[in-house]
Structure 1
């Protein structure tokens, strides 16, 4: 093999490697996090929240969701709303320090809620509503830890803590921000409005996620095929010239 042909083969290998790397980089799904909606509630009150679970994979469905409640701030009342097609299991844990609520002593609280038996297909999301209370007054947020199990047995652990002012972790734990009753009603309402707009944008992105990912993959594959075709043509031309 002469020097010209060796250089052509090397260029073809490099171009192919770069193109293949582009496929791996761009073919990933449009990521969205497991979150609690709305993201804000009043301290000391009751609230209905939803655990929003988007399916991030193109080739597997979400088949189980586990939500672990904040052990530092137990809630006396946690009631899940029925979700069609899904079974729900509520687990309780004995409290080291009993709670006083409406003149009664509460010595156990819900520590975990699990939804299973249903399916969230690629490009879709599901909301799992919960009625929770009485919300604590001695903290500004409740942190939940969620586990998302896929049909291919992959488990995504949404448990990473978030640092104020720091970079967002890869799998942040869902949080519920708690505000003082009445004092921050206006700002909380404004924030809820922004959260609603952001949630609507997320919904659009999630709904388009699967088709958008497929389009990107097909586009990049087309580029790779074209680049390899050009490289093959250059190599063939050099072969003819050498001959």
Structure 2
């Protein structure tokens, strides 16, 4: 009887350890836009962060499409050593009116970064591709950038899937820039930042402390459950021994 109880305790400990190990594994990396939020109608500088998720192949090209339904009048790429950036423009169905009364009839619809000879994003590494753009749309709360990541073995990962609230995250979600409304001053006017100069470099994005804190709390919680189960099992074992001695 004691042998059976010991085997059950050992099995429970192995299962608990497996749960903790699975919970500690970091989330699968995606192509993202950093920072992830900006102000409607503002100019901003963002970076498309691209991790290499292959064990054997390196990333040699990134293509980012800008949404045609929410075009941006001004788009400029920041030079990145070892990479060549090219933009494509599309004629707009509805011209964009500027503050000066002019009309913009075409806008950048796609940006392609291609690695020069000897340059790549190797396995386990990441690269950031910086862009200055604006003014951001005022008629939507997000801008979705669909991206294609090409590896030197010919594999192409399509980061184009829509993330829907209340549903599990898709395998290859498209990078999303969340837009917030501009704050109003005491006179009721909207306050926005000054336009970003061409090629301006965004400040390095801070780490996701909220996500880190959540993961830590989850691991601590699971560990507490495991300790509690182990304590209960030991208590049963001690009770069983006292019963046998009686």
Give the TM-score normalised by structure 1.
0.64
- What is the CA-CA distance between 1:182 and the residue it aligns to? 1.7
What residue number does 2:156 align with?
155
**Residues 81-104 of structure 1 deviation map (CA, whole Å, 9 limit, x = unaligned):** 001100000100000110011321
Q: How many pairs are equivalent?
A: 166
Counterpart among 77, 92, 95 of residue 95 in structure 1:
92
- Name 1:74's counterpart in structure 2: 71
What is the alpha-carbon distance in structure 1 between the residues aligned to residue 97 and residue 65 of structure 2? 22
Partners in 2 of 1:83 and 1:125 — Cα distance? Answer: 14
Shift of 1:199: 8.0
Distance across 1 between alignment mates of 2:105 and 2:163: 31
Q: Deviations over 1:212-243 (max 9, x none)?
A: xxxxxxxxxxxxxxxxxxxxxxxxxxxxxxxx
Q: 5+ unaligned residues in a row in structure 2: which ranges? A: 1-25, 185-204, 213-246
Corresponding residue SS for 1:128: strand
Asked if structure 2 preserves the Cα contact closer than 8 Å seen for 1:30 and 1:56, the reply is no
SS in 1 for 2:120: strand
The equivalences for 1:1-243 within 5 A come to: 31-103=28-100, 104-117=102-115, 118-182=119-183, 196-198=206-208
Of Structure 1 and Structure 2, which has the larger fraction of its residues in helix?
A: 1
How large is the Cα RMSD of the aligned pairs?
A: 2.5
Question: Can you give the 5+ residue segments of structure 1 that lack an aligned partner in the other structure?
Answer: 1-28, 184-194, 203-243
Once residues 163 and 102 of structure 1 are traced to their aligned partners in structure 2, the CA distance between those partners, rounded to angstroms, is 34
Q: Deviations over 1:131-174 (max 9, x none)?
A: 01010111000001000000000000000001101100000000
TM-score by length of 2: 0.63
CA separation in 2, counterparts of 1:158 and 1:175?
11
What whole-Å deviation, never above 9, does each CA across 1:166-214 have from its counterpart, x for those lacking one? 100000000000001126xxxxxxxxxxx72218989xxxxxxxxxxxx
Structure 1 residue ranges (4+ consecutive) displaced by more than 2 angstroms after TM superposition: 199-202
